[in-house]
């Protein structure tokens, strides 16, 4: 993508809504957000202070929305944004922020810095100042339907394997089903055991469900890169298919970003409310268990902990369900020192995992999670996000740690009571 600096500045200015303006005007420059950001704590580099990453947008806000800023412009004393500013800040905006929202949690005046970064990316993306790998992923999402290039043929092949292994028929394009489930490309390619787990659980619980051949991808790379139009098109694809099938719910899979993108941002993107509800897979599993439709048998004694995906828990509010499920399965469940809404990010959210050039930095900041795990001393970590899972596995491998990462849905499926589908016993010793 060619650079269009003027377009970027114009778009950046449009993104300064009343919320952004109030946030900048109320910032007390305390620096507390720095200590909440793993990119700062693990590098000590002041450039990674969250509020500093917003400097281009702050300067434009000052020029356009404050008395003294406008006055300085009139006198020619203001230093306007330059193309070099965009070039210099692109790495900070995309490589060193997962939009996890931990900085927003600690801001003493309530500024949502993650929201501000999301808006700033709109300006950078429109100007062409964004990672090429993220541009390519967004293009694939729009043209193929998946940021990783997963096609319907690939999905059908994965489903065929699941059907062969389980003896279950997986419904596709079934009109009037209660639930339509989505997958992230990473689950289809890297963790097909998630698909098998869903099929087995839904069969055991008698859930009426289907998969769409037209919209099976949950990831919205338009939000990650900062393109409202791309994000709208990707969200609309899911919404249109779900409404045409007449489902009551759309299930967001073990993918944090997908959940907040569709449940909380989606209606704003398409400009109206849905004719169905969005539910995260953990919310559904927890509800099925409480309703008595999901019967579990057996438990794990091995000590394990839970990594809270930022977008599911901190930004999405799904805090209780994973713990309710783990309390039924794991007698050795222990919490990290920082957990729940204050858990530390895996380091790969917000599109950072799709950003090739950020890999070295991402692996460095994994030290924050390493410290959490070493302080706890457990060898098993459960999570509920395919992106978190693969990022955690890469970090564990890079640090040569003896820790296993498993998905919670997969764990639930292994302890189904009276499951007629053979499942290998898990050894956590």
CA 125 to chain CA mean position, Å:
19
Token pair of 101, please?
């929202």
pLDDT tens for residues 367-404?
999 999 999 999 999 999 999 999 999 999 999 999 99
Token pair of 270, please?
């398409």
**Predicted confidence band at 419 (pLDDT cuts at 50, 70, 90)?**
low
Q: Closest Cα to residue 112, out of 187, 27, 196?
A: 27
Q: Of the ranges 46-55, 237-246, 254-263, 398-407, which one carries the lowest mean pLDDT score?
A: 254-263
pLDDT tens for residues 210-221?
999 999 999 999
Assess contact for 282 and 275: CB atoms under 8 A.
no
Question: What pTM did the predictor assign?
Answer: 0.92
3-state helix, strand, coil in the chain (%, to 5): 55, 10, 35
What's residue 54's pLDDT?
Answer: 97
**Predicted confidence band at 78 (pLDDT cuts at 50, 70, 90)?**
confident
Q: Residues 280-301: what's their mean pLDDT?
A: 95
Domains of the chain: 5-130 (1.10.1060), 141-290 (3.40.50.1860), 305-414 (no CATH)
What's residue 423's pLDDT?
Answer: 45
Tokens 């209606």 — which residue? 267
Residues 6+ apart with CB under 8 A from 208: 177, 178, 179
Say yes or no to pLDDT of 424 above 50: no
pLDDT tens for residues 27-71?
999 999 999 999 999 999 999 999 999 999 999 999 999 999 998
**Predicted confidence band at 425 (pLDDT cuts at 50, 70, 90)?**
very low
What's residue 2's pLDDT?
Answer: 82
Query: Higher pLDDT residue, 23 or 71?
Result: 23
Q: Of the ranges 354-358, 359-363, 392-396, 424-428, which one carries the lowest mean pLDDT score?
A: 424-428
Run of H or E including 391: helix 386-398
- The pLDDT mean for the chain works out to 94
How many CB atoms sit inside 10 A of residue 390's CB?
Answer: 18
**Predicted confidence band at 77 (pLDDT cuts at 50, 70, 90)?**
confident
Say yes or no to pLDDT of 5 above 90: yes
Say yes or no to pLDDT of 111 above 70: yes
Assess contact for 416 and 391: CB atoms under 8 A.
no
Say yes or no to pLDDT of 232 above 80: yes
Run of H or E including 126: helix 113-126
């Amino acid at each position: 993508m060619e650079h269009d600096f003027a377009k970027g500045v114009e778009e950046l200015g449009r993104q300064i809504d009343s919320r952004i303006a109030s946030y900048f005007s109320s910032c007390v420059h305390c620096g507390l957000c720095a200590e909440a950001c793993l990119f700062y704590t693990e590098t000590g580099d002041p450039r990674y202070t969250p509020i500093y990453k917003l400097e281009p947008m702050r300067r434009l806000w000052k020029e356009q929305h404050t008395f003294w800023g406008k006055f300085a412009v009139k006198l020619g004393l203001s230093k306007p944004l330059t193309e070099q500013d965009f070039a210099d800040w692109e790495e900070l905006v995309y490589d060193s922020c997962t939009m996890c929202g931990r900085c927003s949690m600690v801001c003493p005046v309530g500024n949502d810095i993650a929201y501000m970064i999301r808006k700033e990316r709109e300006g950078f993306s429109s100007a062409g100042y964004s990672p090429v790998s993220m541009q390519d992923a967004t293009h694939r999402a729009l043209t193929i339907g998946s940021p990783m290039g997963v096609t319907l043929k690939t999905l059908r092949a994965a489903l065929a394997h699941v059907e062969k292994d389980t003896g279950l028929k997986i419904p596709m394009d079934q009109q009037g089903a209660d639930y339509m489930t989505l997958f992230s490309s990473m689950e289809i390619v890297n963790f097909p055991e998630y698909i098998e787990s869903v099929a087995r659980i839904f069969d055991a619980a008698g859930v009426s469900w289907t998969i769409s051949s037209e919209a099976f991808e949950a990831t919205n790379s338009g939000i990650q890169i900062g393109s409202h139009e791309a994000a709208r098109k990707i969200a609309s694809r899911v919404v249109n298919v779900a409404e045409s099938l007449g489902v009551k719910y759309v299930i967001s899979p073990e993918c944090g970003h997908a959940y907040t993108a569709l449940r909380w941002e989606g209606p704003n993107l398409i400009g109206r409310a849905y004719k169905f509800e969005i539910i995260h897979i953990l919310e559904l599993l927890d509800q099925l268990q409480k309703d008595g439709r999901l019967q579990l048998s057996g438990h794990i004694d091995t000590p394990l902990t839970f990594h809270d995906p930022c977008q599911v828990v901190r930004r999405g509010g799904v805090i209780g369900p994973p713990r309710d499920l783990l309390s039924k399965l794991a007698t050795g469940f222990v919490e990290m020192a920082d957990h729940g809404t204050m858990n530390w990010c895996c380091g790969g959210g917000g599109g950072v995992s799709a950003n090739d050039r950020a890999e070295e930095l991402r692996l460095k900041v994994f030290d924050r999670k390493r410290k959490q795990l070493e302080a706890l001393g457990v060898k098993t970590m459960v999570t509920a996000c395919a992106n978190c899972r693969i990022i955690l596995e890469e970090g564990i491998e890079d640090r040569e740690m003896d820790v296993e990462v498993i998905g919670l849905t997969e764990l639930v499926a292994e302890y189904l009571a009276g499951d007629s589908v053979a499942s290998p016993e898990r050894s956590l010793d």
